[in-house]
Amino acid sequence: MPPFFIKMTIAELHRRVGSIKIEDLQNDAFESVREKAEELNREQLEKGLNAKGEQIGEYGGFYREQRATDGYQVDYVDLKVTGKFHKSIYAKKEGEDVEMFSDDNAQKVQSLLKGGNGVRKGGFGEEIFGLTNESKEITKEMARDTKIEIIQEVTNL
């Protein structure tokens, strides 16, 4: 008998599989990727990319000059000065989806999204929150691996 063979009846396997709560499995998978999703969103912003993988924009005029004088990069919009906004980004499970949010000052976040308060007209759009397709694939693989581990643990396979 091969060493990987596990003696289990079909009824026992059915009982074990039936004990898996899909909602708990989904929640555990989300928790396993939450921090990585947040990190990936921050990395995208640091590269000047939105969730569509497009450049957020370019700094211009006086603000560009001021950023350069202060030692910040000016090649593309990264929405980073102190780092507070980037640190404020968090992931939340919304149904089957993972949504990105910020708990930074609400007026500041609204200005970044829609414009105003010194932020360019129209803001930078809601796409500053979210993952590119490449980043989504990374988190999907991680979530899948977590689900597989849990199922293997429960079924003892």
- Examine residue 154 and state whether it is found in any structural domain, yes or no: no
**Domain containing 87: what range?**
35-142
- Examine residue 16 and state whether it is found in any structural domain, yes or no: no
- Examine residue 108 and state whether it is found in any structural domain, yes or no: yes
Residue pLDDT tens, the chain, 157 long: 455 556 778 787 777 777 778 888 888 999 999 999 999 999 999 999 999 999 999 998 999 999 999 999 999 999 999 999 999 999 999 887 889 999 999 999 999 999 888 888 889 999 999 999 999 999 999 999 999 998 888 887 7
Torsion of CA 22, 139, 128, 102, to 10 degrees: 60
Which residues are CB-neighbours of 90 under 8 A, at least 6 positions away?
38, 100, 101, 102, 103
Dist. CA 113–CA 64, nearest whole Å: 19
First and final C-alpha spacing in the chain: 16
Report the number of distinct structural domains present in the chain: 1
